[in-house]
Amino acid sequence: MKHILLALLPLLALLCGCGDDSLSGAVDVARVNIQIERPSDLDSDADVTRGNLSFRNVSSGLTSQWLEGDDISVMPGLYDIDYSAEVRLPSGTVTQLKAARRSVVLPASSTPVNIVMQAYNNRIADDLVIAEVFFSGTLQSSGNQYYGDDYVKLYNNTDHVLYADGITLWESKFTTVDKYNYTPDILPEAVTVQALYTVPGSGTDHPVLPGEYFLLADTGIDHRTINPNSFDLSEADFEWYDVSTKPNNLDIDSPTVPNLDKWYCYTLSFFVLHNRGFRAYGISRIPVDRDTYLRDYLYTYNYDIITEAGVFPMETSAFRMPNEWVVDAVCCSVASRYAWNVVDASIDTGWTHCGTIDKDKTRYFHSVRRKVLYINDNGTPVLKDTNDSSADFNPDCIASEIELQATAADANGTPCTTLTFDGITPVTPDAEAAYRQANHR
């Protein structure tokens, strides 16, 4: 036995040194050659540091860190790969380059797998950001799901007035839990979308002050009249409304909340956010009119559904949203089902969630809320925005409207007693009045 243990010691030492998921000395490893392509608009005189690479094994959760140019070898498997490098511009400004690839299969091979990653400048858009997405909904006292009180809350994270006129809210066509080989692949250039609703206006009709929220609701009514466990959305800024062709599934047109301009939606009844959060949501500024968009931006794609019964070729159409039009986006999923990000890494490198498993009963009454970076001297928050929803959002938060209205936080009707900026950071008594005013509450 002693001789056997002595013989095993070198192998045990190797295995114990692999907590970072790297196995450079093993035989059956995936060898990877990463080539970083820098943005075409990056100043040629910019000083770029040697970049950092992170390989996260999707199955095990283990992560290994490498430097750009290293001889990289990891265990074979499915990986999320991230790249970042610090950039000092000739002006003295310091920024970052980032790149990401999701769900990359790395097989065991003595020949390196070549992967090209397109880096992008991590710049903050001077526009509205998504502060919160409430997609999970509430429950009735019976425990049944209630529909219609979902919403998206935008925020002016700048120090000057912005205008919501022309902002388009969209939902992705593809889900983050099912990945197919869609052809042609347009992910580097556009998001595939299936619902688009636009804020009307001439350009200056809907000002959003610095530190102020802008609420887009599913149905702008006081939902407590139907479900006492819900809350009041009758003072939302806008609602999305659909003229249903299904007599048994009619939408409600609020008398107090104006309608968004409906550009397109896949459903013949009425649109609700995916209540398990398996899609991406975003806002865009589209520089063409509705008719031009619907005519020129249709995307027809092919993919195969593979089952035990065989391979079934599919052809489907949706609309494409060019990445340069996207102002902000957030990918949602759950850990037990996450497969990939349905937007390019230049838009969002991460994802957030309500619940940890599919159909998680704990997700109700909760939303995803953008984190507070710091509080200004005037008491208004500056929210975090790094184009990485994993880092930028607090998951599983009590929805802000539940907090503001002190309505039910569960199916039993237990009143909410907290008030926070982001689901975590408390609103102090001296900041409460300003926070409520920013939310029109």
**Rounded mean pLDDT, 228-239:** 98
134 band by pLDDT with thresholds 50, 70 and 90: very high
Pair (266, 169) in one structural domain: yes
Worst-scoring range by mean pLDDT, 38-42, 53-57, 142-146? 38-42
Q: Which of the listed residues 88, 121, 154 is the one where a domain comes to its end?
A: 121
pLDDT tens-digit map of 306-316:
989 999 999 99
Pair (116, 249) in one structural domain: no
In a domain, 430, yes or no: yes
Pair (314, 375) in one structural domain: yes
CA angle, residues 134, 230, 428, in degrees to nearest 5: 70
395, 354 Cβ separation under 8 angstroms: yes
Pair (175, 269) in one structural domain: yes
pLDDT for 95 beyond 90: no
Task: Assign residue 292 a region (left: φ > 0; alpha: ψ between -120 and 50; beta: otherwise).
Answer: alpha
pLDDT for 14 beyond 60: no
DSSP string, 63-119: EEEEETT--EEE-SEEEEEEEEEEEE-TTS-EEEEEEEEEEEEE--EEEEEEEEEE-
* Cα distance between residue 219 and residue 238, in whole Å: 9
Of residues 136, 141, 173, the one with CA closest to residue 151: 136
pLDDT for 110 beyond 70: yes
392, 386 Cβ separation under 8 angstroms: yes
Q: What is the dihedral of CA 153, 157, 163, 169, to 10 degrees?
A: -40
Pair (256, 171) in one structural domain: yes
Q: Are strands 238-239 and 213-217 parallel, antiparallel or unpaired?
A: parallel
Contacts of 5 (CB under 8 A, 6+ apart): none
* Cα distance between residue 351 and residue 330, in whole Å: 7
pLDDT for residue 122: 65
pLDDT for 174 beyond 80: yes
pLDDT for residue 369: 98
Number of domains the chain is built from: 2
Pair (206, 61) in one structural domain: no
**Rounded mean pLDDT, 356-379:** 94
User: Residue 82: which domain range?
Assistant: 18-121
Q: Which of the listed residues 121, 146, 162 is the one where a domain comes to its end?
A: 121
In a domain, 347, yes or no: yes
pTM: 0.83
In a domain, 10, yes or no: no
Of residues 263, 258, 260, 249, the one with CA closest to residue 148: 249
Worst-scoring range by mean pLDDT, 39-43, 122-126, 196-200, 425-429? 122-126
